[in-house]
Homo-oligomer: A and B are copies of this chain.
């Protein structure tokens, strides 16, 4: 069952959320098994998670082998921006997770048509009030920013390959033009040289974004927003089946919640962090999209209640 109830539950006040990123097929091995040809990619996980809260608009590219548009339709995701490049196959990634799930070995990366991806923004989408720039070439992220009217709230992701490779200047240019960024510890360290989460958060803020989300996998995530900090743990799970896509799912839950509510206050950013952490917790409970594509808002609300108890500080120490 998909959460196709999206169209029924998304209030008319929700803003559309534009995402530019990868759509891929993944081969994944964890200690719980091996799966082939899983629908994946950063924009896929992001948009499926976001679709629980608002309408997602997806800009990406697939090859002539792609056969999964229906999944996006089931979630009310607009794929007018998902172009088919018939000259090749869809991006393919294969990886194997180590027993502790905290590290993985990439078995192969076949960019295929993604190597020639040039994002086109469909007519009408350039005014999307919320925008997420997934982990693509930072020059393409800058290109997208030049093609849209400044959104109300724009965030980006990036990765070690761009930061440490020849594109560091472009990454810094993009960072200077967005309001928010979501990165993991490794990327935070590469961007800032800092060793601690606080050092990374404050260091990235100096590069431009007022809002920094540091994603730490099983250790949760930290929000830096102006002078404020908010910490959300990972939802405690007995078993993690497949961590693939958890970071993109977090980003989709975070941005989807903000686009739905239209409230960029600190308190609402806290809620968005919790929404991201909750969606990511569902993501890792199944291979690929198996678990996250069937989540309903009631299940999200139940985990939210669990979080309130999980992190509640009683007043007064001494």
Contact = CB atoms under 8 A, between A and B. Distances in A.
Tallying the copies of this chain within the complex gives 2
A306 to B, nearest CB: 9
Contacts of A156: none
A101 B238 contact: no
Given A222-B236, A231-B233, A314 B267 contact: yes
Interface in A195-215: 195-199, 201-202
A275 B316 CA distance: 11
Contacts of A238: 194, 196, 198-199, 202
Nearest to A270: B314
A232 to B, nearest CB: 8
Interface size bracket, A side: 35 or more
A63 B92 CA distance: 63
B196 A310 contact: no
A66 interface: no
A240 B317 CA distance: 25
A224 B218 CA distance: 17
Contacts of A194: 238
